[in-house]
């Protein structure tokens, strides 16, 4: 039995961002996962002490059942993902549930943030990050897109460095779960960013995009991704659903013969560069 390393739980579609990288905020009808249906995931026999859950949306803090979900995962390793558009709401959840790890999206400086994330809120978000850093371990996620400029990424990184906030770089992909509408075209400033940061994930993306790196996707056996409608996906970038946790228990889907056959069929795939899978593949390849 292969234990899970990461479980991506997209708990709701509701979101107060208007990102160009995602369409959760456009989706109707709204979908959400409640604590009752997530119980079979939290208690899975494939979960171990090494398993980390990513609790996210949409905007997770807009979920009416956020408290119940955080109670459910209180004894598990998890990271709360947020856009930090409402710092007070985030801090209240962190305080009530003693949340230890929070990741905030920050995809540019003032102008770039507004253009990419659709809301003019850079100052509000960064103030919230500073405040919450006194209470929890806060990191920043910076997604580099084909429509990002070098200055967008540089300004976000410079803010993090000045505020002593750790950050990670991600590269936009055409995620089926997010309902991505824009193509993952070449990213002009990516090589310069790699030259300046030495970021291994982005450097490998450049090699992969040139056809110089073919890395099998062994991680599909160790990463599970569940969308707000309850669908358990093979991965982010293929339209293959293994089952739905509203209709069957997580373990019954994950251990089924069909899931095993699909894992065998696609574990040599190298068709995308989605961070929650490929970072694990890179780690194991080293």
Q: What digits encode the pLDDT tens for the residues 2-20?
A: 899 999 999 999 999 999 9
- The percent of residues above 90 in pLDDT, for the chain, comes to 93
Tokens 């994930």 belong to which residue?
201
Residue 1 pLDDT > 80: no
Q: What count of other Cβ atoms lies within 10 Å of the Cβ of residue 189?
A: 16
Task: Dump pLDDT digits (tens) for 173-186.
Answer: 999 898 888 999 99
Tokens 């991965």 belong to which residue?
235
Residue 239 pLDDT > 80: yes
- DSSP element (H, E) containing 257: helix 257-266
Structure confidence at residue 56 as a pLDDT band (50, 70, 90): very high
Burial classification of residue 132, based on how many CB atoms lie within 10 Å of its CB (0-12 exposed, 13-18 middle, 19 or more buried): buried
Task: Dump pLDDT digits (tens) for 185-218.
Answer: 999 999 999 999 999 999 999 999 999 999 999 9
pLDDT score, position 219? 95
Residue 134 pLDDT > 80: yes
pLDDT score, position 279? 94
Residues 93 and 81: their CA atoms lie apart, in Å, by 12
CA–CA–CA angle 275, 260, 3 (5° rounding): 60
Residues 88 and 53: their CA atoms lie apart, in Å, by 23
Average confidence (pLDDT) over 126-141: 98
Average pLDDT, the chain: 96
* CB 78 within 8 Å of CB 101: yes
């Amino acid at each position: 039995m292969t234990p899970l390393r990461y479980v991506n739980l997209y708990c709701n579609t509701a979101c107060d961002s208007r990102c160009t990288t995602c369409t959760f905020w456009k989706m109707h009808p709204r979908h959400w996962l409640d604590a009752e249906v997530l119980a079979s995931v939290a208690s899975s026999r494939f979960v171990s002490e090494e398993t980390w859950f990513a609790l996210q949306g949409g905007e997770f803090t807009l979920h009416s059942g956020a408290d119940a979900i955080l109670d459910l995962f209180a004894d598990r390793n998890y990271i709360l993902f947020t856009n930090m558009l409402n710092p007070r709401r985030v801090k209240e959840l962190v305080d009530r549930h003693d949340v230890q790890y929070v990741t905030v999206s920050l995809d540019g400086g003032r102008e770039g943030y507004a253009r990419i994330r659709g809301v003019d809120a850079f100052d509000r978000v960064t103030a919230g990050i500073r405040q919450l850093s006194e209470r929890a371990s806060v990191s920043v996620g910076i997604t580099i897109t084909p429509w990002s400029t070098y200055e967008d990424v540089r300004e976000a990184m410079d803010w993090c460095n000045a505020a002593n906030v750790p950050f990670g770089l991600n590269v936009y992909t055409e995620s089926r779960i997010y309902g991505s509408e824009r193509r993952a075209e070449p990213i002009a400033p990516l090589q310069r960013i790699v030259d300046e940061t030495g970021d291994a994930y982005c450097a490998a993306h450049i090699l992969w995009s040139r056809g110089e790196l073919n890395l099998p996707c062994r991680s599909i056996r160790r990463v599970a991704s569940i969308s707000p409608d309850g669908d358990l996906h093979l991965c982010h970038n293929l339209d293959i659903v293994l089952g739905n946790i509203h209709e069957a228990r997580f373990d019954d889907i994950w251990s089924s013969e069909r899931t095993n056959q699909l894992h065998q069929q696609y574990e040599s795939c190298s068709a995308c560069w989605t961070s929650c899978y490929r970072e694990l593949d890179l780690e194991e390849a080293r």
